[in-house]
Amino acid sequence: MTADERKGRMGPRSCLLGLFALFVTGKCSYSPEPDQQRRLPPGWVSLGRADPEEELSLTFALRQQNVKRLSELVQAVSDPGSPHYGKYLTLEDVAELVRPSPLTLHTVQKWLLAAGARNCHSVTTQDFLTCWLSVRQAELLLPGAEFHHYVGGPAETHAVRSPHPYRLPKALAPHVDFVGGLHRFPPTSTLRQRPEPQVPGTVGLHLGVTPSVIRKRYNLTAQDVGSGTTNNSQACAQFLEQYFHDSDLAEFMRLFGGDFAHQASVARVVGQQGRGRAGIEASLDVEYLMSAGANISTWVYSSPGRHESQEPFLQWLLLLSNESALPYVHTVSYGDDEDSLSSTYIQRVNTELMKAAARGLTLLFASGDSGAGCWSVSGRHQFRPSFPASSPYVTTVGGTSFQNPFRITDEVVDYISGGGFSNVFPQPSYQEEAVTRYLSSSPHLPPSSYFNASGRAYPDVAALSDGYWVVSNHVPIPWVSGTSASTPVFGGLLSLINEHRILRGLPPLGFLNPRLYQQRGAGLFDVTRGCHESCLNEEVEGQGFCSGPGWDPVTGWGTPNFPALLKTLMNP
């Protein structure tokens, strides 16, 4: 292979074919994702080049209009002090605002048509276009791309991806943000099953976190369930090639749901729900969203059955842009290291999350299970933030443990709880006061070189993340831990609060953060003890940030005290 080919296989003939003579404007040197790191995730191996005639599904993110105006509208509908608070946009309103220009639509469609793309489908907002092409056509369309088959992950997941960067004609630069289906691999679970703590005797003790333990700790009564009389609904999204089983949900509720009203089955599955073995994470999400947000209609977004070239998280974003009526609360246990994503991709996904906030959707993301994270930059260690946890338009949920693992006591930091400061997104105005107070008062701050003190700080809230019981494949499994557990619990409680708001004629909570920070943790138990993990070096010795009074980048404002949180969030 020549030096030119090693740099991206951009010989003159490749360049000319990529432009299809319609876009000859000089060298085709535009790369929308030049900083996309294409290292192979651990556990994935290449099975070799894909067949040139194999079919691929690629998603083209078209350049949107009026993104700054969209941001202003999010602030207006999410700030309780605004006259527009709660006056959310419809999907059609959002489409009218961000729809790509006629020139963008025409240019991209003409380019794809010339390449032989077929079965192209758009979304209501017209800012995504998903098309089918053969591998041969895709490699000509996107010079530099070279598709390979890969397999990896615990479930032996198959994917088709390119290990090399792709390029677009310069004429497309103003019109396409990125092309999905080339670089990002399906995520793998970070959920852990910890060994059972050993203590003498069991009198007066609980043997792990169950719905009754959660309801007792967070002060829910048997009456704190959905009424079944509203159009209120909630959802969890799963991207791990995992399934949940209705029979597991029924057995879970039989074992652990006897003291509160609940729904026995999922109301709607969006996507394909396979017949394989249930996954622990898929089971956990459904069982705890439906037991915390008890008796509320629940949807599950399921990625199994996707084509090997599709990105599950991206497919979920497309679904949000194509459905007018959606659940009010969505919980998502998914994340990537910020540094592993291209800047164009991360900014565009952030705009998609902004679109959801404008529509009054509450998106909760797990903060991650690696504490502050750690990586080496030019020989120096730094903390490693996670995205979408670091997006300023989602509510991020950290994790806690009981001070005594067998008693319903005060909570302390769960050392895995993800948190820190974004290296991409500046600190939003709604949290500046809280973050400044933490940075000026914490006695245990890591060295300033480890984090970006001016970045978006997370998490925003927390809940128990340690020692859960889950039923999966008909077997009760103890001591399951991770922020994948705390996120559906907090989401379910917000769904109960939405129920009360809807019954009173108020709008749903929508994007919670501006209100959350204005209320300075009202309705939440402040978690003030413990630190999370980070770099194992002599300088920080494995310790990241520590919790303290008020907001902190380990547990946010704290964990829910349901009656107090309900009272606080019922104000118009």
Q: Contacts for 25-28 with beta carbons within 8 Å, 24 or more apart?
A: 25/169, 25/170, 25/171, 26/170, 27/170, 28/143, 28/167, 28/168, 28/169, 28/170
Annotated ligand binding at 527? The verdict is yes
Tallying the residues shown for the chain, one arrives at 572
Annotated ligand binding at 526? The verdict is yes
Exposure b/e, 365-390, CB count within 10 A at least 16 = b = bbbbbbbbbbeeeeeebbbbbbbbbb
Q: How many CB atoms are closer than 10 A to CB 403?
A: 12
Q: Which one of the listed residues 241, 285, 336, 533 is annotated catalytic?
A: 285
Distance, in Å, from the CA atom of 169 to the CA atom of 159, rounded to the nearest integer, reads: 26
- DSSP codes of every residue in 80-98: TTSTTTT-PPPHHHHHHHH
Q: Are 484 and 281 in contact (CB under 8 A)?
A: yes
Helix-helix angle 343-358:67-78, to 10 degrees: 40
Which H or E run includes 180? strand 176-180
Q: How far is CA 214 from CA 6, 18, 257, 568, in A?
A: 55, 57, 12, 20
Q: Which one of the listed residues 189, 391, 484, 534 is annotated catalytic?
A: 484
The torsion defined by the Cα of 328, 334, 340 and 342, in degrees rounded to 10, comes to: -20
Q: Which one of the listed residues 33, 241, 281, 311 is annotated catalytic?
A: 281
Q: Is 484 a catalytic residue?
A: yes
Q: Are 74 and 115 in contact (CB under 8 A)?
A: no
Both tokens of residue 317?
């974003």
Both tokens of residue 221?
């009564």
Kindly give, in sequence order, each residue whose CB lies less than 8 Å from that of residue 228, ignoring residues fewer than 6 positions away: 295
Distance, in Å, from the CA atom of 147 to the CA atom of 179, rounded to the nearest integer, reads: 14
Annotated ligand binding at 550? The verdict is yes
Q: Is 281 a catalytic residue?
A: yes
Which H or E run includes 513? helix 513-518
Annotated ligand binding at 226? The verdict is no
Annotated binding site: which residue ranges?
Answer: 526-527, 550, 552
Annotated binding site for Ca(2+): which residue ranges?
Answer: 526-527, 550, 552
- The residues carrying an active-site annotation are 281, 285, 484
